[in-house]
Chains A and B, each alone.
Chain A
Amino acid sequence: MSWPAASTGPRKRRPWRARPAAVAGFLATLAAGAAQPQQLIANLDVSPQALTKNEARLYFAMHLVRWPDKRPVRVFVLPDKHDLHIAFCQHVLEFFPYQLRTGWDRQVFTGTGQAPTVVANESELIQRVATTPGAIGYASSAPANPNIRSLEVR
Chain B
Amino acid sequence: MPNISAKRALQPEQLPKSMEEVQVVNIETDLLIIGGGNAGCFVAVEARKLNPEIRVAIMEKGEIMRSGACSAGMDAINTYIPEGKTPEDLVQWSRAQVGGGPLREDLALSNAEELNEAVDDLERWGLPVLKDENGKTKYRGKWDISIHGEQLKPIMAEKAIEAGADVYNRVAGTGLLMEGDRCVGAMGLGVRDGKLYVFSAKAVVNSTGGAGTLYKSYTADSTDCGAQIWMCPYCVGTGYAMGFRKGAELSSLEQRWVATRTKDFCGPVDTISVGYKAPIINCKGEKIMQQRYAHLGGDAAPRFIRANAPMNEWLEGRGPTYCDTRGLDDATNWQMMCDYLNERPTFVLFLAARGQDPVKEPIEIFGSDPYIMGGHTMGGFWVDIDRMTTIPGLFAAGETAGGNPNKFVGGCAAEGKIAARGAWKYMQGMAQPALDEQQVAAEKERIYAPLMRGGDFDGVSPREMKERLQRLMDEYAGGYSQFYRTNEERLDYALKHIKMLQDQFRFLKAADLHELMQANETMDRVDVAEAVVHHLKARKETRWAGWQTRADYPERDDVNFDCFVETVRDPKTGEVRAFTRPYEQIVPGDRYNYPG
The yes or no verdict on A and B being binding partners is no
**Residue ranges of B at the interface with A (Cβ–Cβ < 8 Å):** none
